[in-house]
Structure 1
Amino acid sequence: MAINDNILIKIRDMKDSLTPVEKLVAECILENTDDIPHLSIKNLAQLSKTSDASVLRFCKTLGYSGYRSFIVSISASLGSRDDEQKDQYTDIQPGDDLSIIISNISLNNMKSIEDTLSVINRNEVARAVKVLRSSSRIVFFGIGASGIVCKDGEQKFSRINKMCHAYTDGHSQLTAATLLGKGDVAIFVSNSGDTVEIIEALEVVKKNGATSIAITKYNKSELADKSDILLSISTPELTFRSGAMGSRIAMLTVIDILFAGVASAEYQNVKKYLTKTHNILASKHRK
Structure 2
Amino acid sequence: MADLMTGTVDGEPASPVAAVRAVLPSLTPAAQSIARIILDDPGLVVRSTITEFSVVSGTSEATIVRTARALGFGGYSQMRFALAAAVAKEPERLVPGDLGPDDPLTDVIAKVARAESEALADTAAQLDPDRLGEVVTAIVGARRVDVYGVAASGLVAADMSQKLLRIGLSIHPFSDAHLALTSAALLRSGDVVVAISCSGETPDVLVPARTAADAGALVVAITNNPRSSLAGVADHTLVSAGRETAFRPGALASRISQLLIVDCLFVGLAQRTYDRADAAIRATREATDRYRNRS
Report the TM range for the smaller structure's normalisation.
0.7 to 0.9
CA distance in 1, matches of 2:100, 2:283: 43
1:200/1:31 Cα in 2 relative to 1: closer, same or farther (>3 Å)? Answer: closer
1:69/1:269 Cα in 2 relative to 1: closer, same or farther (>3 Å)? Answer: farther
CA distance in 1, matches of 2:109, 2:83: 33
8 Å Cα contact 1:136-1:163 kept in structure 2:
no
* Offset of residue 127 of structure 1: 2.5
* Offset of residue 105 of structure 1: 3.5
* Offset of residue 248 of structure 1: 1.7
* Offset of residue 180 of structure 1: 1.2
Cα RMSD (Å) of the superposition? 2.9
* Offset of residue 259 of structure 1: 0.6
Aligned to 1:221: 228
Aligned to 1:137: 144
Q: What CA deviation, in whole Å up to 9, does each residue of 1:112-135 have, x standing for no partner?
A: 222322443344323222222222
Find the partner of 2:98 among 90, 95, 104.
90
Aligned to 1:161: 168
Aligned to 1:278: 285
**3-state SS, counterpart of residue 140 of structure 1:** strand
1:89/1:244 Cα in 2 relative to 1: closer, same or farther (>3 Å)? Answer: farther
Establish whether residue 33 from structure 1 lines up as the match of residue 47 from structure 2: no
* Offset of residue 52 of structure 1: 5.3
1:11/1:260 Cα in 2 relative to 1: closer, same or farther (>3 Å)? Answer: same
8 Å Cα contact 1:146-1:248 kept in structure 2:
yes
CA distance in 1, matches of 2:44, 2:97: 23
1:160/1:31 Cα in 2 relative to 1: closer, same or farther (>3 Å)? Answer: closer
CA distance in 2, matches of 1:140, 1:31: 34
8 Å Cα contact 1:119-1:218 kept in structure 2:
no
Aligned to 2:3: none
Q: What CA deviation, in whole Å up to 9, does each residue of 1:175-217 have, x standing for no partner?
A: 0111111111101111121111111101101101111111111
CA distance in 1, matches of 2:32, 2:93: 24
**3-state SS, counterpart of residue 183 of structure 2:** helix
1:100/1:220 Cα in 2 relative to 1: closer, same or farther (>3 Å)? Answer: same
Aligned to 1:128: 135
Aligned to 1:256: 263
**3-state SS, counterpart of residue 215 of structure 1:** strand
CA distance in 1, matches of 2:32, 2:183: 38
**3-state SS, counterpart of residue 187 of structure 1:** strand
**3-state SS, counterpart of residue 212 of structure 1:** strand
8 Å Cα contact 2:222-2:258 kept in structure 1:
yes
CA distance in 1, matches of 2:50, 2:110: 41
Q: How many residues align?
A: 285
8 Å Cα contact 2:168-2:276 kept in structure 1:
no
Identity value in percent: 27
Establish whether residue 210 from structure 1 lines up as the match of residue 217 from structure 2: yes
Establish whether residue 146 from structure 1 lines up as the match of residue 153 from structure 2: yes
Task: Give unmatched runs, 5+ long, in structure 2.
Answer: 1-5
8 Å Cα contact 1:137-1:162 kept in structure 2:
no
**How high is the TM-score relative to the length of structure 2?**
0.83
Residue range with higher mean Cα deviation, 174-183 or 37-46: 37-46
**How high is the TM-score relative to the length of structure 1?**
0.85
Aligned ranges 1:69-88 → 2 under 5 Å:
69-85=78-94
CA distance in 2, matches of 1:28, 1:85: 12
Task: Give unmatched runs, 5+ long, in structure 1.
Answer: none
**3-state SS, counterpart of residue 244 of structure 2:** coil
